[in-house]
Amino acid sequence: MASLDAPIPLLLISAFLTLQELCQVRAVSRSCFTVLPNHTHTLVGTNLRDHKSVVLATNYFPRVTTLVLQDCKLSDGELTLAIECIGSQWSQLQAVKLSRVQNLKDHHVRQLAETCSALEMLTVSQCYQVQKPLVVALKLRYIEFHGCFFSRFAMGTRLPALQELRMLSRVLTTLNVHKLIKEILVKEAPLLETLCLANCGEIEQVLIDPMELPKLRTLDLSNCHALTRVHVSSPSLTTLHLSFCLHLEHLILDLQSVRIVDLSFLQSLTHLYLRSDSLKALNLTGCNQLERANLQVMCPALKIVLLQGTNLSLGDGSNFSNGA
């Protein structure tokens, strides 16, 4: 049976250890001292209090590509020094996850994006002083702000490689979303494929025009409880999530790549306009406020329509184009 400090067992357990635990294991034997530094690619720092711990980590584990910092209590200045060290010593760093990092501010996010030139993924969770960051990152493909007070990207933001943006913000409003799409994403994120605004409770309307976000394939608006109106025209969108949008009343969709649209149990929905040459299945189960007079579905490829719990029927004729 292989001993714990043999290379293979050591590498298997190293991914589950924090920075402090890795440092302790590193001191156990010559094998640990030799193997760990060159084979530790994911590093989790917990409860760090100063930048010296980060300096130590960059010296001990030079090949880190994914960094997680959580529950850290660093001052503004200590954070600046820590990020400076991260950018200069881990040039190969591709993913950073920051969770409950005290005193993390907009300028720290900007500094991180600028100094980590290989960065592809950035997640900021429950860092409440991050609100309006300026982010310039040529390789960043994934950004997530979760449980923050994020309201917008500052002007000057450039995200030419961004493919996925996820935001759960307590203060993101209709106007914020409008400016995010029109002023930042349309101009500075031409490759965006996924936009997730799920659980943003202050958004009342979302509007996306046909020429905007030409690569967008997934739009997630689920659990946006204040949402009352959605107007989306997109030639590329294939997936639309609207579950638990309990106050959604008006829905206008022109989607030329979607195959399934699920609007089940949107019990406030009163107006629906849906046009799609590709749609195969439509679920309106439980949409009990939707009336024939306010329904127009123009989908020549439509094969399946679910109407349980509604006042509608397939006999409504032109309201369901080619419905069966």
Beta bridge partners of 231: 207, 252
Question: Has residue 70 been placed in a domain?
Answer: yes
Cα distance between residue 205 and residue 220, in whole Å: 13
Question: Has residue 315 been placed in a domain?
Answer: no
3-state helix, strand, coil in the chain (%, to 5): 25, 25, 50
Question: Has residue 44 been placed in a domain?
Answer: yes
Inter-residue contact 284 to 307 (CB < 8 Å)? yes
Question: Has residue 54 been placed in a domain?
Answer: yes
Question: Has residue 301 been placed in a domain?
Answer: no
Question: Has residue 134 been placed in a domain?
Answer: yes
What domain range is 130 assigned to? 13-162
Element housing 255 (H / E): strand 250-255
Question: Has residue 296 been placed in a domain?
Answer: no
**CATH number, position 48:** 3.80.10.10
Inter-residue contact 36 to 14 (CB < 8 Å)? yes
Return per-residue pLDDT of the chain as tens, 324 residues: 345 555 556 666 677 778 888 888 777 766 777 778 888 889 999 999 999 999 999 999 999 999 999 999 999 999 999 999 999 999 999 999 999 999 999 999 999 999 999 999 999 999 999 999 999 999 999 999 999 999 999 999 999 999 999 999 989 999 999 999 999 999 999 999 999 999 999 999 999 999 999 999 999 999 999 999 999 999 999 999 999 999 999 999 999 999 999 999 999 999 999 999 999 999 999 999 999 999 999 999 999 999 999 999 876 545 676 544
Inter-residue contact 121 to 95 (CB < 8 Å)? yes
* Count of structural domains, the chain: 1
pLDDT at residue 6, as a whole number: 56
pLDDT at residue 268, as a whole number: 98
Closest by CA to 8, choosing from 43, 35, 29, is 35
Question: Has residue 82 been placed in a domain?
Answer: yes
